[in-house]
Amino acid sequence: MLLTGSALVFSQQAITDSLSNSLKTEKDVLTKFNLMNKLCQAHRSFGNNDSALYYGKNALSAIREELRKQNKPAGKVLVLKLEKESIEWMQQLED
């Protein structure tokens, strides 16, 4: 039983490490947003709510910054949709 638990923890760490490493090198804002959301979801599923909130809030900040920079209506609609999804995730975490 201990071996199974250790393997699970290792697997969880491998997932979050992989996403974190991808996030460090990514330049595209939308891809970064998606990586932060995946990190948020991964941490949430592992019961790490503090880390999940951290990545969720960072994703929200990134998308708000992108919205501020956007001058195209279509881009603004996409960014607003993504912002709405982030807010919903964070509300679920805080409940």
Compute the C-alpha angle 10/57/67, nearest 5°: 130
pTM of the model: 0.68
Instruction: Report how far apart the first and last C-alpha atoms of the chain are (Å, whole number).
Output: 32
The pLDDT score that the predictor gives to residue 47 is 87
Q: Which residue is associated with the tokens 């997932």?
A: 15
The pLDDT tens digits for 25-83 are 988 888 888 899 899 889 888 888 889 888 888 888 887 787 777 776 666 677 777 77
What confidence category does residue 3 fall into, taking pLDDT thresholds of 50, 70 and 90? very low
Query: Which has more confidence, 85 or 7?
Result: 85
